Copies of this chain bind each other. A is one copy, B any other.
Amino acid sequence: MTDILINGEEKTTINVSDRGLQYGDGLFETMAVKNGKINLWEDHWQRLKSGCERLLISSPDKKLVEKEIKSLCENNNNDKFVIKLIVTRGEGQRGYCFSENQNITRILDVHTWPDYPDKNKTEGVAVRYCDTVLSENPRLAGIKHLNRLEQVLARNEWNDSAYQEGLMLNVNGNVVDGTMSNIFMVEGNKIITPDLSLSGVAGVMRKNIIKLAEKIKLSVRVEKLDKNKLENADELFLTNSLFGIWPIKSLGDNTFPKTGEITKALQKEVSKQGC
């Protein structure tokens, strides 16, 4: 059996007329599967559904997707792996115009677990600033859509292992997120993460961390963050659905030599969830 299901069928290809290819006209979710269970599935589903609504794409049937995910999980013997779900507006004629009753394309694809070193979690990661900026568009901000050229160009500004992630700034010089993660800063008993109303991806783990922080009585603020503010943080950490929380040990020329207490407390909460 294949590790890919396209509209429920075992196949590995899509038609070239699919609007996902033609225009990046779709969305995706990258999900961690551990011991046969998708972490934060309801949050992934809610984000996908809300993204579909904002892009005027019909949502797939939830029960159907859950059934397909289950069959992919049963077919996989690994303790942990990744399932990527892509939903596109489906096949279409040439031209930007779409019809009201487009049949969406639903792709589920199994990937091996990324080989992130354990020390990224314990000792922290080195982060750089990217030169590629993020554009601003309230119509697309926050959505995990398929228009990802900015992230592609940013991620490929470096190709050595000296840095584990790059931070992206918007056209006004505010830090928005990492190429594949969200960022939080700790200031006293408060955690702050950038506002994503104009650009960036609203990560499922970011949402989860905000909830967990409130649970352990930290105050949470969402606001504009510039480099100066960030570099003067007590602690800094990155979040994403696969790795959970990575402390930042250095950002550009600034070092944060020890994983702070609040970062550790949040890591503990995430690990209690099995994420």
Contact = CB atoms under 8 A, between A and B. Distances in A.
B12 A151 contact: no
A17 B156 CA distance: 18
Interface stretch (A132-140, A209-217, A267-275): A132-140
A109 B16 contact: yes
Q: Which one of A6, A88, A151 has the greatest number of beta carbons of chain B within 10 Å?
A: A151
Interface in A73-98: 82, 84, 86, 88-89, 94-98
Count copies of this chain in the complex.
2
Nearest to A4: B16
A111 interface: yes
Given A24-B147, A24-B148, A147-B147, A136 B94 contact: no
Nearest to A93: B111
Interface string A116-150: 00000000000000001111111110000111111
Contacts of A15: 12-13
Q: Which one of A55, A149, A155 has the greatest number of beta carbons of chain B within 10 Å?
A: A149
Given A12-B16, A56-B156, A139 B133 contact: yes
Nearest to A25: B152
A23 B21 contact: no
B16 A107 contact: yes
Contacts of A150: 137, 139-140
A97 B136 CA distance: 23
Interface string A1-42: 000101000001111111111111100101000000000000
Contact of A22 (B12, B135, B138, B146): B146
A147 B156 CA distance: 18
A153 interface: yes
A19 to B, nearest CB: 8
A179 interface: yes
A171 interface: yes
Contacts of A153: 55-56, 139
Contacts of A22: 28, 86, 146, 148
Nearest to A19: B152
A180 interface: yes
A56 B159 CA distance: 14
Given A23-B148, A140-B149, 5 more contacts: A20-B21, A23-B146, A24-B149, A96-B148, A137-B171
